[in-house]
Homo-oligomer: A and B are copies of this chain.
Amino acid sequence: MKELELVRALTFDVFGTVVDWRGGVIREASALGRAKGLDADWSKFADLWRSLYQPAMSRVSSGELPWTKLDDLHRMNLMQVLDKFGIAGLSESEIEDLNHAWHRLDPWPDAIPGLNRLKRKFILVTLSNGNVALMVNMAKRAGLPWDAILGAEVAGHYKPQPQAYLRTAELLGIAPRECMMVAAHNRDLVAATSCGFHTAFVPRPAEHGPDQKTDLRPEAEYDVVAADFLDLAKKLGC
């Protein structure tokens, strides 16, 4: 634990780690479906939409697309999903509202009590690929007690690019080793480790629904592995 005493800020992945994006998108899409008399497998709808997330960010990171905030990538992807599902005739404001389903995701049950305990000892910061407006609106609705909203948009680089992590630490005025990345995703934590961050793995085995096969276990050495945010708080002495 000696080295861990350096940690001053916890930087959080958000989608999947803090909030249940899949349950939220299914809830919002099926509500729109009911209102419009549309029938579809909304779980598959959510999964297809999410499956386009990484490829879209990769197009930005590769330079194929200029910087595009996540709300706009979500919107481009949504148009593809609606097309694949044969859903036509939604108004501009219905599409925009559905796109903002990502602003209205609910936290996992342990997230808020865990964050409130962690906040007494640490600076709590978002280090998400979600844009600032998305993160602010989500936090406001859900009551997430962030000390700052940083991450991809402010850094101008999507995770897992190193600039996303390094710029976040720099803006906090602290060294990477004074930060601990908290995520449910091995890829994120491995990238954070390469940048000199400490790491905490909090698996979310229901993130992708009942048949999840990925990120069930730590696939590298992390400083902490915790069952949920309350367990994380306990393991970090909060």
Q: Which of B136, B153, B173 has a CB less than 8 Å from the CB of A71?
A: B173
In the assembled complex, A172 has its CB within 8 A of some CB on chain B: yes
What chain B residues lie within 8 Å of A133 (beta carbons)?
171-174
Q: A148-B148, A148-B149, A149-B149 are in contact. Are A173 and B140 (CB under 8 A)?
A: no
Interface mask (A173-197 → B, CB under 8 Å = 1, otherwise 0): 1100000000000000000000000
Contact residues of A between 126 and 174, Cβ < 8 Å to B: 131-137, 139-140, 147-150, 153-154, 171-174
Apart from A71-B173, A134-B173, list 8 A-B contacts with CB within 8 A. Answer: A123-B136, A125-B136, A131-B173, A133-B172, A133-B174, A140-B147, A149-B149, A153-B171
> Are A139 and B147 touching (Cβ within 8 A)?
yes
Chain B nearest CB, measured from A210 CB (Å): 34
Q: Max chain B CB contacts within 10 Å: which of A125, A131, A172?
A: A172
Q: Interface 1/0s, chain A 8-20, versus B by CB < 8 A?
A: 0000000000000
A136 touches B147 (CB 8 A): yes
Indicate how many identical chains form the complex: 2
A172 to B153 alpha-carbon distance, docked (Å): 11
The number of chain A residues touching the other chain, given as a range, is 20 to 34
**Nearest opposing residue in chain B for A103, CB measure:** B173
Chain B residue numbers with a CB within 8 Å of A148 are 132, 135-136, 148-149
Nearest CB in chain B to that of A69: its residue: B173
A133 to B178, CA, bound (A): 13
**B-chain residues with CB within 8 Å of residue A71 when the two chains form the complex:** 173
Chain B contacts for A125, CB-based, 8 A: 136
In this complex, what residue of B is CB-closest to A132? B171
- What residues of B have a CB within 8 angstroms of the CB of A147 in the complex? 136, 139-140, 149
Nearest chain B residue, comparing its CB with the CB of A149: B148
List the B residue with the shortest CB-CB distance to A119.
Answer: B140
- Chain A positions 186 through 226: 1 when the CB is less than 8 Å from some CB of chain B, otherwise 0: 00000000000000000000000000000000000000000
How long is the Cα–Cα vector from A131 to B136 in the complex, in angstroms? 19
Residues of B contacting A137 in the complex (Cβ-Cβ under 8 angstroms) = 173
A165 shortest CB reach to chain B, Å: 15
Q: Return the 3 tightest CB-CB contacts between A and B, nearest first.
A: A133-B173, A132-B171, A148-B149
* Contact partner, A132, options B135, B136, B139, B150, Cβ 8 Å: B150
